[in-house]
Amino acid sequence: MAISKISRLNVMLVFAAALISGANAHAKPSSAAKPKLVVVVMVDGLPMEQLYKNRDLFVANGFRRFMDHGAVFTDAHQAHAFTVTAPGHAAVLTGAYPYQHGIIGNDWRTREGKYAYNTADPASKYLDGSATTDDDGTSPKNLRVSTLADELAYASNGTSRTFTVSGKDRGAILLAGRAGKAFMYSTQTGRFTSTSFYMPKHPQWWEDFYATKPQDKWFHQRWMALLDGKAYARSLPDNQPWSSPRGGISKSMGAMYGVGETAPGKLYYGALLTGPFADEAMAEFSIALMKGESVGRNPSGATDILGVSFSSHDYVNHSFGPESIQSQDHLIRLDRTFAKLFNGIDKQVGKDNVLMVLTADHGFANAPETDAARGFDAMRIDPTELRNAVNALAEKRFGIPKLAWQHMTGGFTLDYAAIDEKKLAREEVELFVARAVTQQPGIAHAYTRTQLESGSLPQTRIGKLAQRAWHHSMAVDVMVIVKPFHFFASRSTTSQPTACTHGTPYSYDTHVPLMWHGAKWIKPGRYTDYAEVVDLAPTLATLLETRFPSASEGKVMPVLR
């Protein structure tokens, strides 16, 4: 029997209703289902391989909260050439590369030779009475783009709040952006302070927290190994000759904090940042901040963000190397500190109301002595010696003394006034200098301003990362890339010796953790897709249904439910 028009219409209506019902069943969660709190955890100077290497030594609610129950991206990278703290932190909540966000390094020099620190701002001062110098960070003035914190605050008419805490000023400020509130560690007082950019004075909860001087409780304590000796067999033996500890502590485990002082002072507070106790102080302060500001209990219902960047691992790795017993023990202790922090967050907000992300600003190279023992060509390159050698060749060719007149983040700036005075072609001189640089020991590549301005670098991985790291108005005229297992380190007797460092486009410096936790919003599992830290901001913006940060180039990660 033929189906009547009315019957066909009824069937179509039923089918359409079923489609709508199915679509609704898979629709994006409503705004009521958004997390009450997004926690962004960072570890300064943490290569992904250190987590793999020590996984069996971690406790359940530290790193393994992410590794066992979260979404782990195994091929995640800081995707710019000069992998240092400031650009790495700027990438996280801007989703942008240095060529746009403008934070090309921790510091640099202008074309006139003036020193510039990434988050310096003479108009803003520390609130706890600490002296504020030209190389102290106080505001995001130099950050040229918006952060997720800025966009959330704008979209919510200021009800969505962001608070950040870090051992380094740049670690807090570059996450907070303009709309957040940043707190950073003062090596003069041992307290986490803010600046006049963010608030006129500290809130009362801050005054109450520091009334009992909790920062002094580690004075004259020793940093002893936490586990028994067998746990450290995977690290190099203690007291290596290249170790160069900061803050006046010793090369061996068991270092005491506050040596040379009878009461806590600047030596103690400065040294505290270079070991595990500053991490404990940061976790305690972060929990106090959450309670004092009711973070994650926003009366408007808007999502809050808490950014906590732990800085001490970077100092430990600089001093001893990521292959050292100190680095391993520090990571094990940091894991336990994480567990305390995460328990405090869960208690404050409720575990099911929190979405967490963990990443790092950069990885770390081994000490060259370690890589040389493995059979690789490895060395420290003194940038002044390199520049002198190149200048000698350039003076012989062009008659211009000190043509490459300053070394800064990423390479050399050239004396264009002298070049123009001699009526030389800039491109020709740049190319000569680049070739002279690559003739020197330990140098892999050199790219000229002309190449960088035209975007004509080789379309290799290193070429792409180099292009992203270069900002036309403030970066170098000849960009220099070292060979693998090499890095720049001054041999000047006035500079701090460097056991090892970071800052290259090689995997040991770019490959970092990128892990999520919060099963209501993300799909747990092991993800082998290539990912970048700049992917965090657009993914969080998508989840929170807000505008992407202004210069975001990351992609939305395949992790959202």
pLDDT in tens, 137-186: 999 999 999 999 999 999 999 999 999 999 999 999 999 999 999 999 99
**pLDDT by residue (tens digit) across 34-92?**
999 999 999 999 999 999 999 999 999 999 999 999 999 999 999 999 999 999 999 99
Q: Which residue from 335, 271, 305 is spatially nearest to 541, judged by alpha carbons?
A: 305
Query: DSSP state, 560?
Result: B
The two structure tokens encoding residue 96: 């942008």
φ, ψ for residue 361 (rounded to 5)? -85, -25
For the segment 358-376, the average pLDDT, to the nearest whole number, is 97
φ, ψ for residue 316 (rounded to 5)? -65, -45
pLDDT grade, residue 17 (50/70/90)?
Answer: very low
Q: Please report the pLDDT score of residue 29 as a whole number.
A: 43
Residues with Cβ within 8 Å of residue 373, at least 6 apart in sequence = none
Pick left, alpha or beta for residue 296 (phi over 0 → left; psi -120 to 50 → alpha; otherwise beta): left
Residue 171 half-sphere exposure toward CB, CA atoms < 13 A = 30
Q: Which domains does the chain have, with CATH numbers?
A: 35-367+506-544 (3.40.720.10), 379-488 (3.30.1360.150)
**More confident site: 30 or 164:** 164
Is 425's pLDDT higher than 80?
Answer: yes
**Distances from the Cα of 237 to the Cαs of 126, 229, 328, 404, in angstroms?**
41, 11, 11, 42
Mean pLDDT rounded to a whole number for the chain:
93
**More confident site: 397 or 497:** 397
The two structure tokens encoding residue 490: 């001054």
For the segment 336-351, the average pLDDT, to the nearest whole number, is 97
pLDDT grade, residue 466 (50/70/90)?
Answer: very high
How far apart CA 335 and CA 329 sit, in angstroms, is 10
pLDDT over 70, % of the chain: 93
The two structure tokens encoding residue 264: 């806590």
For the segment 307-328, the average pLDDT, to the nearest whole number, is 97
Q: Please report the pLDDT score of residue 6 as a whole number.
A: 39
CB of 140 closer than 8 Å to CB of 173: yes
pLDDT over 90, % of the chain: 89
Q: Please report the pLDDT score of residue 492 as a whole number.
A: 67
How far apart CA 112 and CA 109 sit, in angstroms, is 8
Q: Please report the pLDDT score of residue 13 as a whole number.
A: 39
**Distances from the Cα of 58 to the Cαs of 53, 64, 339, in angstroms?**
10, 7, 10
Kind of pairing between the strands at 107-109 and 115-117: antiparallel
How far apart CA 474 and CA 104 sit, in angstroms, is 8
Q: Please report the pLDDT score of residue 112 as a whole number.
A: 85
Q: Which residue from 554, 545, 537, 539 is spatially nearest to 146, judged by alpha carbons?
A: 537
**Distances from the Cα of 109 to the Cαs of 105, 117, 288, 396, in angstroms?**
10, 9, 38, 27
How far apart CA 514 and CA 531 sit, in angstroms, is 8
Q: Please report the pLDDT score of residue 240 as a whole number.
A: 95
Pick left, alpha or beta for residue 411 (phi over 0 → left; psi -120 to 50 → alpha; otherwise beta): left
Tell me if residue 255 falls in helix, strand or coil: strand
CB of 333 closer than 8 Å to CB of 279: yes
How far apart CA 534 and CA 537 sit, in angstroms, is 6
Q: Please report the pLDDT score of residue 8 as a whole number.
A: 44
Tell me if residue 328 falls in helix, strand or coil: helix
**Tokens 């000796």 found at:** 229
Q: Please report the pLDDT score of residue 354 as a whole number.
A: 98
**pLDDT by residue (tens digit) across 94-137?**
999 999 999 999 999 988 889 999 999 999 999 999 999 988 99
How far apart CA 549 and CA 174 sit, in angstroms, is 13
Tell me if residue 430 falls in helix, strand or coil: helix
Q: Which H helix or E strand runs over 281?
A: helix 277-293
Q: Is 261 exposed, middle or buried (0-12, 13-18, 19+ CB in 10 A)?
A: middle
Q: Please report the pLDDT score of residue 74 as a whole number.
A: 98
For the segment 389-418, the average pLDDT, to the nearest whole number, is 96
How far apart CA 206 and CA 431 sit, in angstroms, is 55
**Tokens 């180099």 found at:** 466
Q: Please report the pLDDT score of residue 409 as a whole number.
A: 87
Residues with Cβ within 8 Å of residue 313, at least 6 apart in sequence = 43, 44, 45, 46, 327, 330, 331, 334
Query: What residues are paired with 77 via a beta bridge?
Result: 511, 532
For the segment 192-214, the average pLDDT, to the nearest whole number, is 98
Is 442's pLDDT higher than 50?
Answer: yes
**Tokens 């993914």 found at:** 539
For the segment 291-303, the average pLDDT, to the nearest whole number, is 96
245, amino acid identity: P
Is 15's pLDDT higher than 80?
Answer: no
For the segment 229-251, the average pLDDT, to the nearest whole number, is 91
Q: Please report the pLDDT score of residue 494 as a whole number.
A: 59
> Exposure pattern of 380-408 as b/e (b: 16+ CB <10 Å)?
bbbbeebbeebbebbeeebebeebbbbbb
Pick left, alpha or beta for residue 58 (phi over 0 → left; psi -120 to 50 → alpha; otherwise beta): beta
CA–CA–CA angle 362, 339, 337 (5° rounding): 65
The two structure tokens encoding residue 243: 């170790």
Query: DSSP state, 400?
Result: -
For the segment 281-304, the average pLDDT, to the nearest whole number, is 97
For the entire predicted model, the pTM comes to 0.93
How far apart CA 118 and CA 116 sit, in angstroms, is 6
